[in-house]
């Protein structure tokens, strides 16, 4: 599984940990919030914003219909795995089941993004490139592997604690040890991302149409067709280490932590069900055997 998927899962859990009411607010207003955010950054013309908002609303409708049921099924699988005691094989199965869900979300992202990209003026593309450069510069501080390991451990400890309650000393040490072994591939990932952005801007400068831009984004974000082999291997290693972390951390939970986790997962499941707005076809539960 790609490194992108493991990161996506962790980021999603971290955002959802902010609270179910916030999840509902952000999801229900996603087209508006997204439009405002992008407009603020690159100054869209009114007709661009109107047209793109319609495209975003169409994609969100598809997400409610196609993606939310699969997310709920995956969450049901996680709840079942938690109740069973975080068996490693179950967790590995869930990670495999998450990959096609990631791909589906990436495809929806492509469908939402390509229509806007082809309308950007040269000035707007320059603003977008400047934003990318500024973000890259923020991450270009001199590398300090030890500092990076400490920051990553603190981030995992904080995110896990949002779901289970405070971690005890031995749990914190477990997280430090396992996250320290994760591949340090951020510089290579940043370089790969910058290279793909350059290719995208070249296509836009050449006047590529929506179909060609969508095909490029699909290859980049869904198929990873230009991803270096070393980054693919790092993604596989990260996946294995995430499964190990989940299994060993899950086994360390006391009764209070386990109860809090199951309560939070149950609340999230109810929230996702409400966001569907209507009953959808039941998706088979992954890893239920």
Which token pair is 26? 């952000």
pLDDT tens for the chain, 289 residues long, are 344 444 334 334 443 444 556 667 777 777 877 888 888 888 999 999 998 889 989 998 998 888 889 888 988 999 999 999 999 999 999 988 888 988 998 899 999 999 999 999 999 999 999 988 888 887 766 567 888 889 899 999 999 999 999 999 999 999 999 999 998 888 888 889 999 999 999 999 999 999 999 999 999 999 999 999 999 999 899 999 999 999 999 999 999 999 999 998 898 888 888 888 776 667 777 776 6
| CA–CA dist 98, 104 (Å, integer) | 10
Enter the pTM of the model.
0.85
Query: Which distant-in-sequence residues (6+ apart) come within 8 Å of 4 by Cβ?
Result: 102, 221, 224, 235
**First vs last Cα of the chain: how many Å apart?**
22
Instruction: Give Cα 112 to chain centroid, integer Å.
Output: 16
| CA–CA dist 163, 13 (Å, integer) | 9
């Amino acid at each position: 599984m790609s490194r992108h998927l493991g990161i996506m899962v962790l980021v999603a859990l971290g955002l959802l940990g902010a609270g179910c009411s916030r999840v509902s607010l952000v999801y229900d207003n996603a087209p508006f919030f997204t439009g405002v955010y992008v407009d603020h950054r690159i100054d869209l013309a009114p007709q661009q914003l109107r047209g793109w908002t319609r495209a975003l609303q169409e994609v969100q409708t598809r997400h409610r219909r196609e993606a939310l049921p699969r997310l709920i099924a995956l969450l049901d699988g996680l709840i079942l795995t938690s109740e069973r005691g975080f068996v490693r094989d179950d967790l590995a199965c869930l990670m495999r089941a998450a990959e096609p869900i990631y791909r589906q979300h990436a495809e929806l992202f492509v469908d939402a993004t390509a229509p806007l990209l082809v309308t950007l003026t040269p000035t707007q593309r320059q603003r977008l490139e400047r934003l990318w450069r500024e973000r890259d510069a923020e991450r270009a501080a001199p590398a300090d592997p030890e500092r990076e390991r400490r920051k990553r451990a603190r981030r995992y400890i904080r995110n896990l604690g949002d779901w289970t309650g405070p971690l005890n000393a031995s749990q914190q040490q477990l997280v430090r040890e396992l996250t320290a072994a994760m591949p340090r591939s951020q510089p290579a990932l940043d370089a790969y991302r910058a290279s793909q952005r350059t290719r995208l801007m070249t296509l836009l400068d050449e006047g590529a149409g929506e179909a060609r831009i969508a095909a490029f984004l699909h290859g980049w974000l869904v198929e990873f067709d230009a991803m270096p082999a070393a980054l693919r291997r790092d993604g596989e290693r990260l996946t294995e280490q995430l499964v190990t972390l989940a299994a060993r951390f899950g086994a360390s939970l006391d009764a209070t932590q386990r109860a809090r986790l199951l309560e939070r997962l149950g609340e999230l499941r109810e929230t996702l069900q409400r966001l569907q707005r209507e009953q959808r076809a039941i998706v088979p539960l992954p890893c239920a055997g």
